[in-house]
Amino acid sequence: MTVRVVLADDQTVVRAGFRALLDLTDDLVVAEAADGARAVEAVRTTRPDVVLMDIRMPGVDGLEATRRIAGDRSLDGVRVVMLTTYQVGAYVFEALRHGAAGFLLKDIEPDDLRAAIRTVAEGSGLLDPAVTRRVIEEFARLKAPEAAGAERLAVLTGREREVMAPVAAGLSNEEIGKRLIMSPLTAKTHISRTMTKLGARDRVPLVVLAYETGLVRPGEH
Question: Cα separation of 187 and 173, whole Å?
Answer: 6
Angle at 40 between CA 10 and CA 84, to 5 degrees: 40
Question: Cα separation of 86 and 101, whole Å?
Answer: 16
Q: CATH class for domain 145-212?
A: mainly alpha
pLDDT score at 131: 63
pLDDT digits 0-9 by tens, 145-177: 555 566 778 899 999 999 988 888 778 889 999
- The ranges of the chain with pLDDT < 50 are none
pLDDT score at 86: 67
pLDDT score at 194: 93
Name, in order, each residue with C-beta under 8 angstroms of 117's C-beta and a sequence gap of 6 or more: 3, 5, 22, 27, 50, 52, 81
Q: CATH class for domain 4-127?
A: alpha beta
Strand order in the sheet with 102-105: 28-33, 4-8, 50-54, 79-84, 102-105
pLDDT score at 112: 84
Question: Would you kindly state where each structural domain of the chain is located, as residue ranges?
Answer: 4-127, 145-212
pTM: 0.74
